[in-house]
């Protein structure tokens, strides 16, 4: 994945035991070499670089041949959104003939070839076929991969199990299997939690009044005040202002379940957009129809606005960071402003629920902005989702099972790069999570590496996790049996993705500050390809902390040895627990430290770092 | 807000509810409680209240502090919860500060206030810390300027402090006479011109005995003696001449008593232009080349003098060049850096973003935050200074060329650049004591006009400029980019920036060593009185107890140990530093070849034209500087070696701790960088304890240096910790109130949703 001129192999990609290393390219099990070719990589940072490109059914791999340090590109084909020919056979100028590759992960790649004998024809066609397999009736790499992991990530999420954790079903809420065969709603999961008093017949009637049958269902319940977050799509009000008694009664049932005085309906859209939707049969809950509810618009814009915003952001950070007017350029992308709006919306949702009022959240279809809002609010309210496992559950539940259209939004394996359905909604969500981890650095069990890994594999198509648009499609295509889950990779190397500063405070609600003063651009993701941005594999803070942990373990061990030699005569009972503790500590720290030194050959060996630590006191 | 009315019955009643109840009353509220029936006239209430508060509540006065005037009841409007309730109390104006004493007793316990300043509390404003005073009416405010106030007084005053705090006091409840008095008192003492001797430090030190004892305890080198300079030259292996001829300021009142010049500068040279034009040594690079600064002569003048200036400067340049390899580069700093007025103007714009009067205003300004920030130009000025310093570093480190930086007085931008260069090159200056010594050397001895730049005496606004703060800002940028390289913490820098405006410390009170010497030393007459002994800011015990001082050290800093140096040698051969730089980039550069060649060419050059700039166009400088940075960046980072700042847009940031600490809207409750630091400090304390136990086992004496104050403290952390400890642990989130409507849309508004066209079918 790394394209920095400094030769580093990407941390996320390495699973040393599983890679089969051929002479040049590290191949994954199931990965096959298709073509290799001498080529010139037009590196925007270090100029034209001669080297060799290898294309497999999973990746594009480039290695420079005549510069030190060696420049390596390792790009999963899934990341590619567009491949174009650059220049013609008669183009003048050096290196003007070649390929131009646009990537989904904030970079572009340019390769130049010799201007004779159609030298790029074969590589272009092969790249085009394998980068967009679905457009050529080829399978995605996830279905070809033979990777094996110790942990099976498909077992991470079980809907009933998760609802049981929340204390559901209970006397007010029941689990329904009405959608067992995706008949009620083909983009919802099979297991749904609805008010106990609502009959299956009620649900069917409500489904008829909600866009795409996405009825209001429970996402989360507060363990004490029993206030709930309910998600759905917009009501089909239309120009004529239709009403549905069933829908109105159904929302009343939701309100009554915990005695909420007034139900708050958060419509994620800007007011004008909600009104505009009436023209196409949608709309919002009117005051007359829903008398015990307050409607609040959260002013979050649609997928097209977000796509444009990220495109503008890419323009100012790649290949070079805008120099003269960085701040106003950043502002003009509106990216952080959108982040602010999404966070501000989620804060309002969380605040209502925390104070005991149930809420309903929807946008138009309830699979983009709604997923952002519910999942972020749940992250603020429930410490479980801030654990490594809990976060996976959250993504599986609010995003995957409730039908965020991962395939359409990211265009997996599809050549149509101008598709208006594409939009970085999930990237935006991960960015919001990152903003929260920055503001609460001890509240999350997972670290930044996890967030980057999730985004990398959002596009890579190496795992089945983010394939297809909804549960039913994943079922039809046997994703669970034919592909590997991303969580298998993650959970087989937990220490690497763990935040050492994590402090368990699960019951505490976290409200991030949604002010521009605190929001910052996620430089280590959006500008990671720029070698001028210093990439620290580990923050100094984290490194120091791990060193101290190692030191603590060492001292405990020494202390225990001393006590043992003392206690030959009189048995000391304090030595046993400390020994245990030391054992645990050394276990928990040794792994990541090793990993880090393994990755960055620039830093001194870890043993050395630990030894020079003994002096400062 | 309450309307003015100066103690009408409604207002008076509300005041009684809060003030009279001393402790019981929760303090008014936004409007007077309608249910309260007043049986006494407002005047009576005010009288009794005044008596009570006069008797019971008084600020704890410092030595030499006297109260000028006071008034009560005064309502302090608070923002730290969102109800905007007020607290009643008394307002005092002394010769040191404006002090608000609350009537609510429980507030005074201030438990959990680990980080307490001994000189002033959270409701005190040192007079020199007052930035601007406004009269508040309705929802607007108007600036009060000195001399504009006579007999009127506003119902509300808003005080903006230099440390970014904002106070709002309602005078409407106090007796008219008192209110007028306190208002005029505050305006007089904070805005009117005054003489230096009126600054509190002088009254304070008369009564206190500081401690030549304390000062000797300090390891900070003060650079007020021959020995200090000699040792510094020895430390850096400089080969220059220490001059003591100015010990009695006979050469120049602008130069320090002791200074160092190139060997080739002669005695006659000193007296020629009253100390102007003399290259003053700052620091020597290990290669032998050195950094010099000077107050430049006006070379451009076309009168008779200019020729003699020119020949003099040639001689001086020659002297610098002879220091090492006959090389010199000169830089007229004002040509490429902003003027002190630019700096002041930019900072004035910048600070407004943090002096927020209410929540609505805050969220209004949040929308255009980034572009406003850019328009202020403050970060850009920081970038320019850092870039200039890198250019100088490049000359010293890469080309081993002597550098002479010049400026009219040689005591503003010269101080900024020379000290930045030294922070980047010399790890000694990244230790706490080293940094303090650097400030003494370059700023205090270097004659930075602290008094004029801070404008304590409210005399010439044109001279006011936050040049020293600019330097601290630059250091903060380095600190946040390379935290483990610094022994001191962000909190230390913030406190230091605050201390400039406390008016107790000799460090920031004078315009030059001469100014200081003549002020402190009684000139005959009252010979029985010894010289005044003002405390230096570096004696931190004047402001903070030792537990609070623990916040000054950076838990990430690891000293370079001897053990560590040994294995590193094998890693890095002796001259690797030079080898590893991309030599090609510099060999081809015309910049290098110029002076290095021969003395002849230098001399020829000097005769032909003036040599006051880098000898190549700026864009070329930029590109080589960029290459210099990139080459350095490719190497493994050594926190005990050279540090170069990244000055790209995303890398330069706002010093959040300093600027955001008082804004309730942006407090991250239970979060912020301090939560991380606490974990680290806790673990550090634990490791120390274990180490102690081990040493005890091995019967080695272990001096248990106080585990940092953070460890084990039960204080609730927020992003503003340790400066702002919220008592009301707010579980209410701050919800942005004015989100920008109709953000962009336009092209997309009509096609609201991705699949909207399909909706009609359903």
What is the count of residue pairs from A and B with beta carbons less than 8 Å apart? 271
Least confident of A380-394, A529-543, A569-583, B675-689: A569-583
Helix or strand holding residue A408 (H, E) = helix A406-410
Tell me the pLDDT band of B304, cut-offs 50, 70 and 90. low
Catalytic member of A43, A363, A432, A470: A363
Provide the mean pLDDT of chain B: 78
The mean pLDDT value for B351-356 works out to 92
The model carries a pTM of: 0.86
**Quick one: DSSP state of residue B171?**
-
DSSP assignment of B329-381, as one string?
EEEEHHHHS--HHHHHHHHHHHHHTT---SHHHHHHHHHTHHHHHHHH-HHHH
Spell out the long-range contacts of A576-580 with Cβ–Cβ below 8 A and sequence spacing 24 or more. Answer: none
Q: Which residues of B touch A515 (CB under 8 A)?
A: 362-363, 366, 369, 665-666, 734, 736
Exposed/middle/buried for residue A451 (C-beta within 10 Å: 0-12, 13-18, 19+): buried
Whether residue A327 lies within 8 A of chain B, CB to CB, comes out as yes
Max Cα distance, chain A (Å):
92
With a cut of 60, say whether residue B610 has pLDDT above it. no
Give how far Cα A308 sits from Cα of A38, A80, A327, A523, B747, Å: 36, 18, 18, 19, 11
With a cut of 90, say whether residue B22 has pLDDT above it. no
Whether residue A579 lies within 8 A of chain B, CB to CB, comes out as no
Of B559, B671, B673, the CB nearest to A616: B559
CA atoms within 13 A on the CB side of B328: 30
The mean pLDDT value for B664-691 works out to 88
Contact at CB, A532 and B630, closer than 8 angstroms:
yes
Question: Which of A358, A379, A375 shows the shortest CA–CA distance to A367?
Answer: A375
The mean pLDDT value for A454-466 works out to 97
Give how far Cα B362 sits from Cα of A24, A305, B248, Å: 57, 26, 54
> Of chain B residues 374-393, which have a CB less than 8 A from chain A?
374-375, 379
Q: Is the bond leading into B465 cis (omega within 30 degrees of zero)? A: no
Q: Are A62 and A53 in contact (CB under 8 A)?
A: yes
- Both tokens of B232, joined, read 């510094």
Give how far Cα A342 sits from Cα of A269, A429, B569, Å: 10, 8, 52
Q: Which residues of B touch A523 (CB under 8 A)?
A: 650
- Both tokens of A3, joined, read 């394209």
Tokens 């029936």 locate to: B37
Rounded Cα–Cα distance for residues A74 and A26 (Å): 10
Contact at CB, B731 and A334, closer than 8 angstroms:
no
Q: Are A74 and A59 in contact (CB under 8 A)?
A: yes
Pairing relationship of beta strands A293-297 and A263-267 according to DSSP bridges: parallel
CA-based torsion, A285, A289, A290, A294: positive or negative: positive
| pLDDT at res. A582 | 44
The mean pLDDT value for A98-107 works out to 95
Find the angle CA(B21)-CA(B24)-CA(B27) to the nearest 5 degrees: 75
Exposed/middle/buried for residue B213 (C-beta within 10 Å: 0-12, 13-18, 19+): exposed
Tell me the pLDDT band of A442, cut-offs 50, 70 and 90. very high
To the nearest whole angstrom, how far is the Cα of B757 from the nearest Cα of chain A? 7
To the nearest whole angstrom, how far is the Cα of B132 from the nearest Cα of chain A? 24
Question: Which of A84, A82, A126 shows the shortest CA–CA distance to A104?
Answer: A82
Tell me the pLDDT band of A82, cut-offs 50, 70 and 90. very high
Instruction: Collapse the DSSP code of A496 into the 3-class scheme (helix H, G, I; strand E, B; otherwise coil) and give the result.
Output: helix
Q: Which residues of A touch B636 (CB under 8 A)?
A: 602-603
Q: What pLDDT, in 10s, does the model give residues A4-13? A: 443 333 444 4
Q: Which residues of B touch A512 (CB under 8 A)?
A: 668, 671
Of A270, A325, A544, the CB nearest to B484: A544
Mutate which of A207, A367, A540 to test chain B, going by most B C-beta atoms within 10 A? Answer: A540
- Both tokens of B60, joined, read 């704890």
Least confident of A108-112, A535-539, B221-225, B348-352: A535-539
The mean pLDDT value for A319-333 works out to 92
Chain A: residue nearest B373 by CA? A327
Whether residue A50 lies within 8 A of chain B, CB to CB, comes out as no
Q: Which residues of B touch A348 (CB under 8 A)?
A: 733, 735
| pLDDT at res. B674 | 85
Give how far Cα B259 sits from Cα of B418, B519, B626, Å: 15, 21, 34
Contact at CB, A344 and B669, closer than 8 angstroms:
no
Contact at CB, A559 and B690, closer than 8 angstroms:
yes
Whether residue B680 lies within 8 A of chain A, CB to CB, comes out as yes
Least confident of A419-433, A543-557, B20-34, B116-130: B20-34
Q: What pLDDT, in 10s, does the model give residues A380-432? A: 999 999 999 999 999 999 999 999 999 999 999 999 999 999 999 999 999 99
Of B363, B633, B757, the CB nearest to A534: B633
CA atoms within 13 A on the CB side of B264: 15
The residue that leads in pLDDT, A526 or B270, is A526
Rounded Cα–Cα distance for residues B156 and B74 (Å): 10
The residue that leads in pLDDT, B353 or B614, is B353
Tell me the pLDDT band of A18, cut-offs 50, 70 and 90. very low
Tell me the pLDDT band of B528, cut-offs 50, 70 and 90. low
Give how far Cα B596 sits from Cα of B322, B395, B601, Å: 11, 12, 9
- Both tokens of B58, joined, read 């008084």
Q: At what angle do helices B413-425 and B378-398 cross, to 10 degrees?
A: 60
With a cut of 50, say whether residue B16 has pLDDT above it. no
| pLDDT at res. B730 | 54
**Quick one: DSSP state of residue B755?**
T
Dihedral of CA atoms A588, A594, A600, A601 in degrees, nearest 10, equals: 160
Counting every residue written for chain A, the total comes to 617
Q: Is the bond leading into A294 cis (omega within 30 degrees of zero)? A: no
Strand partners, B133: B144, B159
Q: What pLDDT, in 10s, does the model give residues B375-431? A: 999 999 999 999 999 999 999 999 899 999 999 999 999 999 999 999 999 999 999
Exposed/middle/buried for residue B336 (C-beta within 10 Å: 0-12, 13-18, 19+): middle
Q: Are B496 and B443 in contact (CB under 8 A)?
A: no
With a cut of 50, say whether residue B626 has pLDDT above it. yes
The mean pLDDT value for A278-305 works out to 95
Helix or strand holding residue B272 (H, E) = helix B267-272
The residue that leads in pLDDT, A304 or B730, is A304
Instruction: Collapse the DSSP code of B597 into the 3-class scheme (helix H, G, I; strand E, B; otherwise coil) and give the result.
Output: coil
Chain B: residue nearest A608 by CA? B564
| pLDDT at res. B274 | 79
Rg (C-alpha) for chain B, rounded Å, is 29
To the nearest whole angstrom, how far is the Cα of B613 from the nearest Cα of chain A? 24
Q: What pLDDT, in 10s, does the model give residues A343-369? A: 999 999 999 999 999 999 999 999 999
Q: Are B493 and B472 in contact (CB under 8 A)?
A: yes
| pLDDT at res. B720 | 78
Whether residue B525 lies within 8 A of chain A, CB to CB, comes out as no
Q: Which residues of B touch A423 (CB under 8 A)?
A: 754
Q: Is the bond leading into B276 cis (omega within 30 degrees of zero)? A: no
Rounded Cα–Cα distance for residues A427 and A413 (Å): 18
> Of chain B residues 728-747, which have a CB less than 8 A from chain A?
731-736, 739-745, 747
Of B367, B557, B760, the CB nearest to A280: B760
With a cut of 80, say whether residue A184 has pLDDT above it. yes
Strand partners, B142: B135
Of B561, B676, B731, the CB nearest to A615: B561
Rg (C-alpha) for chain A, rounded Å, is 27
User: What are the strands, taking DSSP E only, across A196-341?
Assistant: 217-221, 228-232, 263-267, 293-297
Contact at CB, B367 and A441, closer than 8 angstroms:
no
**Quick one: DSSP state of residue B727?**
S
Rounded Cα–Cα distance for residues B586 and B92 (Å): 63
- The listed range with the strongest mean pLDDT (A320-324, A574-578, B226-230) is B226-230
| pLDDT at res. B589 | 35
Tokens 């949702």 locate to: A349
Rounded Cα–Cα distance for residues A449 and A115 (Å): 42
Cβ neighbours of residue A149 closer than 8 Å, sequence gap 6 or more: A15, A18, A484, A488, A489, A491, A492
With a cut of 80, say whether residue A75 has pLDDT above it. yes
Q: Which residues of B touch A510 (CB under 8 A)?
A: 670-671
- Both tokens of B601, joined, read 């060419």
Q: Are B157 and B133 in contact (CB under 8 A)?
A: yes
With a cut of 60, say whether residue B583 has pLDDT above it. no
Rounded Cα–Cα distance for residues A103 and B449 (Å): 55
Q: What pLDDT, in 10s, does the model give residues B286-299? A: 999 999 999 988 76
Tell me the pLDDT band of B78, cut-offs 50, 70 and 90. confident
> Of chain B residues 547-566, which have a CB less than 8 A from chain A?
555-559, 561, 563-564
CA-based torsion, B538, B543, B549, B552: positive or negative: negative
Rounded Cα–Cα distance for residues A98 and A86 (Å): 5
Mutate which of A214, A439, A517, A545 to test chain B, going by most B C-beta atoms within 10 A? Answer: A517
The mean pLDDT value for A6-29 works out to 53
Provide the mean pLDDT of chain A: 88
Of B556, B571, B687, the CB nearest to A540: B556
Contact at CB, B671 and A552, closer than 8 angstroms:
no
Of B663, B673, B736, the CB nearest to A514: B736
- Both tokens of A403, joined, read 């039908």
Question: Which of B494, B420, B403, B416 shows the shortest CA–CA distance to B448?
Answer: B416
CB atoms within 10 A of CB B705: 11
- Please confirm, yes or no, whether A363 is among the known catalytic residues: yes
> Of chain A residues 469-508, which have a CB less than 8 A from chain B?
501, 503, 505, 508
Of B366, B676, B679, the CB nearest to A515: B366
| pLDDT at res. A608 | 34
To the nearest whole angstrom, how far is the Cα of A222 from the nearest Cα of chain B? 16
Exposed/middle/buried for residue B281 (C-beta within 10 Å: 0-12, 13-18, 19+): buried
The mean pLDDT value for B194-201 works out to 91
Least confident of A174-178, A351-355, B80-84, B695-699: B80-84
């Amino acid at each position: 994945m790394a394209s920095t001129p400094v030769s580093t192999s990407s941390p996320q990609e390495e699973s040393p035991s599983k890679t089969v290393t051929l002479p040049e390219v590290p191949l994954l099990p199931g990965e096959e070499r298709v073509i290799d070719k001498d080529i010139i990589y037009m590196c925007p940072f270090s100029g034209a670089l001669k080297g060799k490109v290898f294309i497999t059914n999973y990746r594009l791999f480039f290695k420079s041949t005549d510069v030190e340090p060696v420049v390596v590109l390792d790009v999963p084909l899934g990341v590619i959104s567009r491949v174009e020919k650059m220049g013609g056979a008669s183009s003048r100028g050096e290196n003007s003939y070649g390929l131009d590759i646009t990537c989904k992960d904030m970079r572009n790649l340019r390769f130049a070839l010799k201007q004779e004998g159609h030298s790029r024809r074969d590589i272009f066609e092969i790249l085009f076929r394998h980068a967009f397999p679905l457009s050529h009736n080829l399978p995605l790499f996830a279905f070809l991969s033979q990777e094996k992991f110790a942990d099976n990530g498909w077992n991470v999420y079980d809907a009933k199990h998760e609802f049981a954790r929340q204390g559901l079903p209970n006397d007010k809420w029941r689990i329904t299997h009405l959608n067992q065969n995706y008949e009620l709603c083909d983009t919802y999961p099979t297991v749904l939690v609805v008010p106990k008093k609502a009959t299956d017949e009620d649900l069917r009637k409500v489904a008829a009044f909600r866009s795409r049958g996405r009825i209001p269902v429970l996402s989360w319940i507060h363990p004490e005040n029993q206030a709930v977050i309910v998600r759905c799509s917009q009501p089909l009000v239309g120009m004529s202002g239709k009403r549905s008694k069933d829908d109105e009664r159904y929302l009343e049932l939701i309100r009554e379940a915990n005695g909420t005085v007034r139900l708050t309906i958060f419509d994620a859209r800007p007011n004008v957009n909600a009104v505009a939707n009436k023209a196409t049969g949608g709309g919002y809950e009117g005051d007359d129809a829903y008398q015990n509810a307050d409607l609040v618009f959260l002013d979050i814009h649609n997928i097209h606005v977000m796509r444009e915003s990220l495109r503008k952001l890419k323009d100012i950070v790649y290949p070079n960071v805008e120099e003269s007017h960085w701040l106003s350029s950043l502002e003009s992308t509106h990216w952080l402003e959108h982040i602010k709006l999404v966070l501000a919306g989620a804060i309002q949702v969380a605040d209502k629920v925390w104070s005991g009022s149930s809420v309903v959240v929807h946008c138009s279809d309830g699979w983009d902005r709604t997923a952002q809002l519910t999942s972020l609010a749940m992250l603020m309210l429930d410490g479980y989702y801030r654990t490594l496992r809990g976060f996976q559950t959250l993504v599986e539940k609010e995003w995957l099972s409730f039908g965020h259209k991962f395939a359409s939004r990211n265009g997996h394996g599809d050549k149509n790069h101008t598709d208006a359905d594409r939009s970085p909604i999930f990237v935006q969500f991960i960015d919001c999570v990152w903003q929260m981890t920055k503001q609460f650095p001890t509240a999350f069990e997972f670290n930044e590496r996890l967030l980057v890994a999730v985004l990398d594999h959002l596009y890579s198509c190496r795992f089945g996790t983010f394939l297809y648009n909804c549960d039913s499609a994943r079922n039809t295509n046997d994703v669970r049996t034919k592909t590997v889950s991303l969580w298998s990779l993650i959970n087989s190397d937990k220490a690497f993705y763990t935040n050492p500063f994590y402090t368990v405070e699960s019951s505490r609600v976290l409200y991030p500050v949604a002010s521009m003063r605190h929001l910052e651009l996620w430089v280590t993701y959006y500008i990671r390809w720029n070698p001028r941005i210093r990439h620290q594999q580990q923050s100094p803070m984290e490194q120091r902390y791990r060193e101290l942990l190692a030191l603590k373990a060492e001292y405990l061990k020494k202390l225990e040895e001393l006590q043992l030699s003392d206690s030959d005569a009189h048995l000391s009972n304090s030595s046993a627990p400390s020994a245990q503790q030391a054992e645990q500590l050394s276990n928990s720290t040794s792994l990541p430290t090793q990993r880090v030194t393994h990755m960055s050959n620039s830093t001194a060996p870890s043993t050395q770092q630990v030894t020079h630590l003994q002096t400062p006191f | 807000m309450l309307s003015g009315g100066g103690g009408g019955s409604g207002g008076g009643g509300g005041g009684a509810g809060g003030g009279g109840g001393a402790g019981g009353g929760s303090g008014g509220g936004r409007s007077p409680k309608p249910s309260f029936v007043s049986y006494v006239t407002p005047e009576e209430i005010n009288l009794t209240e005044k008596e009570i508060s006069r008797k019971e509540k008084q600020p704890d006065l410092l030595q030499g502090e006297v109260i000028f005037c006071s008034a009560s009841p005064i309502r302090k409007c608070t923002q730290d919860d969102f109800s905007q309730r007020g607290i009643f109390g008394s307002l005092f104006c002394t010769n040191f500060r404006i002090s608000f004493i609350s009537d609510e007793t429980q507030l005074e316990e201030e438990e959990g206030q680990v980080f307490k300043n001994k000189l002033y509390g959270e409701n005190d404003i040192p007079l020199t810390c007052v930035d601007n005073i406004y009269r508040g009416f309705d929802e607007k405010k108007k600036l009060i300027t000195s001399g504009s106030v006579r007999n009127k007084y506003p119902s509300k005053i808003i005080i903006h402090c230099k440390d970014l705090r904002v106070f709002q006091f309602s005078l409407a409840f106090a007796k008219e006479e008192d209110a007028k008095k306190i208002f005029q008192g505050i305006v007089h003492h904070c805005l009117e011109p005054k003489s230096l001797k009126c600054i509190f430090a002088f009254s304070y030190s008369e009564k206190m005995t500081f401690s030549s004892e304390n000062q000797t305890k300090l390891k900070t080198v003060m650079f007020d003696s021959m020995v200090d300079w000699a040792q510094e030259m020895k430390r850096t292996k400089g080969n220059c001449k220490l001059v003591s001829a100015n010990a009695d300021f006979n050469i120049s009142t602008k130069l320090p008593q002791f200074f160092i010049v190139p060997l080739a500068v002669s005695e006659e040279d000193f007296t020629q232009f009253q100390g102007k034009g003399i290259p003053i040594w700052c620091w020597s690079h290990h290669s032998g080349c050195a950094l010099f600064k000077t107050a430049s002569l006006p070379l451009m003048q076309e009168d008779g003098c200019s020729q003699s200036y020119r020949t003099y400067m040639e001689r001086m340049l020659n002297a610098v060049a002879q220091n090492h390899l006959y090389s010199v580069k000169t830089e007229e700093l004002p040509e490429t850096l902003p003027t002190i007025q630019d700096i002041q103007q930019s900072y004035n714009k910048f600070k407004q973003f943090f002096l927020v009067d209410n929540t609505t205003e805050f969220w209004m300004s949040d929308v255009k935050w980034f572009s406003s920030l850019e328009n202020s130009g403050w970060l850009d000025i920081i970038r320019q200074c850092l870039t200039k310093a890198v250019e100088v570093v490049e000359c010293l480190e890469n080309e081993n060329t002597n550098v002479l930086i010049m400026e009219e007085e040689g005591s503003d931008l010269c101080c900024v650049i020379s000290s930045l260069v030294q922070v980047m090159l010399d790890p000694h200056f990244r230790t706490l004591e080293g940094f303090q010594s650097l400030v003494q050397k370059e700023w205090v001895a270097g004659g930075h006009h602290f008094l004029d730049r801070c404008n304590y005496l409210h005399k010439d606004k044109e001279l006011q400029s936050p040049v020293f703060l600019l330097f601290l800002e630059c250091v903060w940028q380095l600190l946040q980019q390379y935290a483990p390289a610094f022994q001191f913490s962000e909190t230390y820098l913030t406190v230091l920036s605050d201390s400039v405006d406390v008016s107790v410390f000799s460090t920031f009170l004078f315009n030059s060593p001469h100014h200081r010497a003549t002020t402190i030393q009684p000139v005959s007459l009252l010979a029985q009185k010894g010289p005044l002994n003002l405390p230096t800011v570096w004696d931190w015990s004047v402001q903070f107890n030792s537990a609070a001082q623990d916040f000054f050290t950076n838990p990430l800093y690891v000293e370079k140990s001897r053990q560590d140096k040994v294995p590193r040698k094998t890693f890095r051969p002796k001259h690797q530093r030079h080898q590893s730089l991309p030599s090609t980039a510099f060999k081809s550069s015309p910049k290098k070849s110029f002076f290095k060649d021969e003395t002849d060419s230098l001399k020829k050059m000097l005769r032909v034209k003036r040599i006051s700039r880098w000898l190549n166009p700026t864009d070329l400088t930029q590109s080589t500087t960029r290459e210099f940075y990139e080459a350095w960046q490719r190497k493994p980072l050594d926190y005990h070696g050279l540090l170069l700042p990244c000055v790209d847009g995303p890398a330069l940031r706002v010093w959040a701790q300093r600027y955001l600490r008082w804004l309730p809207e942006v407090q991250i409750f239970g979060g912020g960088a301090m939560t991380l630091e606490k974990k680290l400090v806790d673990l550090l304390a634990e490791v120390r304890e274990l180490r102690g136990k081990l040493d005890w086992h091995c019967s080695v004496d272990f001096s248990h240096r106080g585990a940092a104050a953070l460890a084990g403290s039960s204080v609730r952390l927020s992003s503003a910790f340790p400066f702002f400890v919220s008592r009301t642990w707010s579980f209410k989130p701050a919800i942005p109130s004015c989100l920008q409507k109709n953000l962009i849309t336009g092209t997309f508004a009509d096609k609201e949703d991705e699949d909207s066209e399909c909706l009609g079918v359903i």
